[in-house]
Amino acid sequence: MLVLTFVWALLPVSLLSAQSEKKVLTLEDYGRWNRITSTSLSDDGEWISYGYQPLEGDQTLYIKNLDTEKIYEIFCGSGPVFSQDGLWAAYRLSKPTAKPKKEDKEKPAEPEKIVPGVQLLNLQTGEKYTFENASSFQFSPRSDFLALRKPKTDREAEHQGSDLILHNLRTHLDLNIGNVGSFQFNIKGTLMAYTIDAENKAGNGIFIMVLETGQLRPLDTDEAEYAQLTWDDQGREETLKYGYKGTALAVLKGNTKENFTQKENVLMVFTALDVPRHYKIVCDPATDEGFPDNMVLSEKARLSWSEDNSRVFCAIKEQEPEPEKLDEPVANVDVWHWKDERIQSVQMRRASRDRNFTYQAVFNLNNRRFVRLTDDNMQSITLTQDGKFGIGRNDKPYIADVNWGGAPADYYRVNIANGERKLFVEALGRSMGLSPDDRNYLYLKEKQLWVYNLDTEQTVNISQSAPVNFVNVDDDHPYEKPAFGLAGWTKDGQAVIVNHRYDLWRLELDGSKAANITAGVGEREAIRFRYTNLDRQERFIDTDKPLLLSMYGQWTKKSGYARLSIGSEPEEIIYLDKSIGRLSKAKNADKIIFTMQTFVDFPDYYVSDVNFENMVKITDANPQQAEYAWSPGRVLIDYENSRGVRLQGTLALPAGYEEGKKYPMIIYFYEKMSQNHHSYSNPSF
């Protein structure tokens, strides 16, 4: 089904008589229009950062206090980050790309000299600290330190180490650690681990620093390269519920073997790092009987930990001899063959990915057992967080279908302890993922929703009791139609909440019951309700609490948000004839930011409480628009096609539009576009 969008294209100057005092927009004016970038909220909700990026020229960064209106303006600033305590902000400074014009009132004619690097800003006092030529930065989780990386002094050098500056935010003293290859804070902010990667491997090793005291402890030193440094908490805050998290490290250590392409690594695991005497466990492929022949532990993929710290997941790759150097030129010819698994164009596009492809494996710390998990018959796997199972995927039998858009595969339950595989569904094209508790896998097949339980190995049709179908029949791509989507899994572990065209449904995992939790309001009013999660750490939907839902009027193009208490109808909070989006909440405060836009109004940011009350406009990115003759907006056009199907278009009106007059018009149609009725477009070329 096509929905037409009508776009006004031609405008004689005579039509502007009603707006004669306004300027006509020219190509030279386009450079005055800004985009908003670098938007973020501090955890305490007191500060917001945003940048104005013009079509031509350099960005200006703003850091604004939402309570006091205090604002810092940083020309050529970008990439801002707030410390967790909300007292500091850091950002990158870049060299200006263009010199401001003297007549340009929006920028000073002679701005202060900008030193490229990283700048630290005290949000309370406005004091700034500049770190020249720093290329990246990171606050420690406790907001005690700012770590800054300097680029390599010799870009041609084989070693990758460079200076790491650890700036103390209390004393403002700097500790410079040379030749750092990589570093990571643990999530508690008590320890920092780093590797040394120096010229000729002199002094290479892995070290940890106790941040409170500055005490330094070497864990391993050798003439080797260390890679993929990984704490057991993996940077996830939800792992703090495990008190031991942030006390164990995994790293790869190795060297490239002469006349071969891949490094020969060992896996090193250090535990009990919160006490003076730690433990070291090593998985060495040369001595491990379970390690596959002619393979190496590869640094081309990340290490990861199971949630209970009993397993480390790693990657393996075939060892290959260096290719023979030929004196004669190599022919640059593409040879196509009808039996190729992938057509040549796909092969060329995937060449780099194929060269770096690795297989998944696991090292069990309790019994020191190494288990290969994937191979050529099952090349990918999704791991459960507890590390007990994995969902393996094999698309090899259907590889020819993948070339043309479809992506079916056979799916397996994989026992991580021993690598055992059990096929649970064949030729699946629409998977919908694991439950957050790692117990169930959801997928769409034969126009029904199914759940496979990894513990019981039972498969249940959970949509059979619903009076509606959850397949998006309006999707017109030439392969299996998808479901409308998954809202989430309930906290009680008994159900999933899924999307229908307009409403939300709760489907019990045992298939016994289906309930429309939005009480049919969406279908009745043609309003699309969708679950909105403002807590990035929340993995489940807690149905005992009110849920925040987005709203979108299918035929009105209104948008907004509603509150839903299960058992009641959605209660509208805000619903306007605008497009409301980019909603974000402060982590530790009941404060949200969002944009509102129409075809005429740029999507500036607003701040309010979580009930959309006490709303205040924060940004004003393009006030110059008021100087120009501008469209009064768009109107919706409802009609039916030759088959009696209701359709809708959106008509953009020209500046100076007068009802009853005739105007030139271009009709543009492609798929469904009337949902862009309230989309603002920056002038651009």
Average pLDDT value for residue range 406-418: 93
Q: How far apart are CA 33 and CA 659, in angstroms?
A: 29
For 122-136, give one letter per residue: b (16+ CB within 10 A) or e: ebeeeeebebeebee
Higher pLDDT, 107 or 444: 444
- pLDDT of 639: 93
Q: Is-contact 495 505, C-beta < 8 A?
A: no
Judged against a pLDDT cut of 70, whether residue 683 lies above it is answered with yes
pLDDT digits (tens, 9 = 90+) for 221-269: 999 999 999 999 875 555 555 566 899 999 999 999 899 999 999 999 9
Does residue 239 form part of some domain? yes
- pLDDT of 13: 41
Average pLDDT value for residue range 110-132: 90
Question: What does each C-alpha distance from 640 to 4, 524, 650, 668 come to in angstroms?
Answer: 11, 20, 14, 17
- Quick one: what percent of the chain has pLDDT higher than 90? 79
3-state secondary structure at position 222: coil
Does residue 529 form part of some domain? no
Higher pLDDT, 355 or 394: 394
Half-sphere exposure of 85 (CA within 13 A, CB side): 16
- pLDDT of 20: 60
Strand ranges (E), 67-161: 71-75, 77-82, 88-93, 117-122, 128-132, 136-139, 145-149
**What is the domain-level CATH number for residue 275?**
2.140.10.30
Task: Among 307, 338, 372, give the residue marking a domain's end.
Answer: 372
For residue 276, what are the contacts with CB-CB under 8 A and spacing of at least 6?
none
DSSP symbol at 572: E
- pLDDT of 16: 47
Count Cβ atoms below 10 Å from residue 645 Cβ, excluding itself.
10
Q: Is-contact 587 237, C-beta < 8 A?
A: no
Does residue 75 form part of some domain? no
Higher pLDDT, 333 or 359: 359
- pLDDT of 356: 84
Instruction: Give the pLDDT band of residue 3 (cuts 50, 70, 90).
Output: very low
Q: How far apart are CA 380 and CA 292, in angstroms?
A: 18
Half-sphere exposure of 142 (CA within 13 A, CB side): 14
pLDDT digits (tens, 9 = 90+) for 162-212: 999 999 999 999 999 999 999 999 999 999 999 999 999 999 999 999 999
Count Cβ atoms below 10 Å from residue 379 Cβ, excluding itself.
17
Average pLDDT value for residue range 48-74: 96
Higher pLDDT, 377 or 355: 377
- pLDDT of 236: 59
Judged against a pLDDT cut of 70, whether residue 485 lies above it is answered with yes
For 399, the enclosing helix (H) or strand (E) is helix 399-402
Number of domains into which the chain is organized: 2
Instruction: Give the pLDDT band of residue 352 (cuts 50, 70, 90).
Output: confident
Does residue 345 form part of some domain? no
pLDDT digits (tens, 9 = 90+) for 492-551: 999 999 999 999 999 999 999 999 999 999 999 999 999 999 998 899 999 999 999 999
Q: How far apart are CA 221 and CA 251, in angstroms?
A: 12
Q: How far apart are CA 483 and CA 499, in angstroms?
A: 8
Does residue 36 form part of some domain? no
- pLDDT of 14: 45
Task: Find residue 475's DSSP bridge partners.
Answer: none
pTM over cut 0.85: yes
Does residue 401 form part of some domain? no
- pLDDT of 182: 97
- pLDDT of 482: 94
Task: Please state which of the ranges 271-275, 324-328, 571-575 shows the lowest mean pLDDT.
Answer: 324-328
Instruction: Give the pLDDT band of residue 348 (cuts 50, 70, 90).
Output: confident
Task: Find residue 433's DSSP bridge partners.
Answer: 442
Instruction: Look up residue 362 and give its two tokens.
Output: 């696991």
Instruction: Give the pLDDT band of residue 324 (cuts 50, 70, 90).
Output: confident
Does residue 305 form part of some domain? yes
Average pLDDT value for residue range 26-51: 96
Task: Please state which of the ranges 250-259, 307-316, 551-560, 659-668 shows the lowest mean pLDDT.
Answer: 659-668
Average pLDDT value over all residues in the chain: 91
For 346, the enclosing helix (H) or strand (E) is helix 344-349
Domain of residue 669 covers 5-26+627-676
For 355, the enclosing helix (H) or strand (E) is helix 351-355
Measured in whole angstroms, the distance separating CA 636 from the mean position of its chain's CA atoms is 34
Does residue 634 form part of some domain? yes
- pLDDT of 527: 99
Instruction: Give the pLDDT band of residue 453 (cuts 50, 70, 90).
Output: very high
